[in-house]
Chain A
């Protein structure tokens, strides 16, 4: 099968699955809704139904889609960046770092915003960037970083950031809901302005990533070869580091830590359509979005009358896959 054909099949499959996922998201919930209700909403307009279907369910489905797209794109970028299919924002501790920054901003009571950036997302970005830069500097100093070192450094930094986050949350009175949100990830608080926070970042990052995709391909030949081929390696690397962090931080600041999506999705997409980042980036984003819609559906419907934090679903599905990958490599 040619690469083009495989991409077409994947695209068709994702469109169908995506539509099914969106539609199911609109129909499932505590208030029973059927296709006839949807039709009534579209044709006649029903305010009560609109609040449930559009403001609660559609915003949530879109939020899940964009967060999934952002995390998967961040994973694809980090895997290319470290030339390692086991990297992703969660495993490298970037998500936990961002989560700590966001919680810190809230704890300090920083309601102010600079330009379009809230203190919360700015803190999330800075602390996420600190984590990933630290890992990158370690990797630069030692030449090519070994897989074990990369993963262990990320896991250690992630654990540290999580401990600090837990400490801050422990000081609060409403700590249980907050802890669930920041440490396990959730779309339960989804609303339209959160979609407005994350969607522009994801779309803009995808555009920039696309612009630099050929450069990312060159990096897989090693930095020196890439430079000798005409790639401005340092600027490209800097750009990708910032992109991956923006994606992880914006995802975390609206939905908490959702692990493993960024690891599994790009990995699977690469197996299916090949390693060319010009295709890997958009397809990872799309696949990640569709994937998280279904994870969110599962989190809403697995237990009666309550919902699971989505991070539990992605970890339950993703962690075994991660272990499988680790063992297949060695």
Chain B
């Protein structure tokens, strides 16, 4: 059984749909990246799955259950989410923020058991933030903060994790660090991951399958090895690039070519 089954999904914010006719399935422990130009509906797709936006049509099934019938807490036990610009007002500490991820399990008054406490320690180690636990979030660097929000999502202990461009605003070392955590998570806990990403090479390197969105529709999907071609990038992004095989991984790799100065503006 697939963990996530999306059929004919259409969603928007009131002025016409932003995404239309999206169908795909995500298997247990599978890693899918969603790629596409800015405004193609990557974030909207994630939010529609989470039912965070007002107008949603079509069906989203999570572990075989229709998402619209799940209450907020059941939903939170099935799907965890790291938004694109995670934020926290007030000076909550790293540990407090990670603990907020347990709300769906603890409820309003539940206390953290010894087992759960060990689980939270394990997660903070996995995200390499154990040494920061007493620090307020505001004192951390962007990369550290991103890892705290990933740990907060992991604390939900959900079989499915959605991330919205987790590598944005991070330098190359932190980008790899975030993806290292995701791969580890998948290997150790069998978590399925759906990740909106703008960096094609990162997505190719870590994903089982890619979804390409263009103007709110699914333009292409499949395993990265065969899917990513020069023509596809031109069709979806309208950009001229070179696609070569990486010598080490033999995976396709997008490399930029200098634009033609004399070409007329599009």
Contacts and interface: CB of A to CB of B under 8 A. Distances in A.
Interface of A: 80, 83-85, 211-215, 217-218, 220-222, 224-225, 227-232, 270, 274-276
20 contacts: A80-B90, A212-B108, A215-B108, A217-B92, A218-B103, A220-B89, A221-B87, A221-B100, A222-B87, A224-B50, A224-B81, A225-B81, A225-B86, A228-B50, A228-B52, A228-B79, A229-B104, A231-B72, A274-B96, A275-B91
Contacts of A275: 90-92
Contacts of A231: 72, 103
A147 to B, nearest CB: 11
Contacts of B89: 83-84, 220
B108 A229 contact: no
Contact of B103 (A85, A212, A214, A222): A214
B92 A220 contact: yes
Given A214-B108, A221-B86, A221-B97, A230 B103 contact: yes
Interface in B76-125: 76-77, 79-81, 83, 86-93, 96-97, 100-101, 103-104, 106, 108-109
Interface of B: 47, 50, 52, 72-73, 75-77, 79-81, 83, 86-93, 96-97, 100-101, 103-104, 106, 108-109, 152, 156
A224 B52 contact: yes
Nearest to A277: B90
Contact of A221 (B76, B88, B104): B88
Q: Which of A83, A217, A225, A270 has the most CB of B within 10 A?
A: A225
Contacts of A230: 72-73, 75-77, 103-104
| Leading 10 A-B pairs by shortest Cβ distance | A230-B76, A230-B104, A275-B90, A230-B73, A228-B81, A83-B89, A220-B89, A230-B72, A229-B103, A224-B52
Contacts of B90: 80, 83, 85, 220, 270, 275
B52 A218 contact: no
Contacts of B79: 228
Contacts of B83: 222, 224-225, 228
Contacts of A84: 89
Nearest to B47: A224
Nearest to B51: A227
A84 B75 CA distance: 29
Contacts of A232: 72
Q: Which of A220, A222, A229 has the most CB of B within 10 A?
A: A229
A274 B80 CA distance: 26
B95 to A, nearest CB: 10
A105 B34 CA distance: 59
A276 B109 CA distance: 14
A107 B160 CA distance: 60
A229 B52 contact: no
A211 B108 CA distance: 7
Given A222-B83, A224-B47, A227-B52, A217 B100 contact: yes
Contacts of B92: 217, 220, 274-276
A19 to B, nearest CB: 31
A211 B92 CA distance: 19
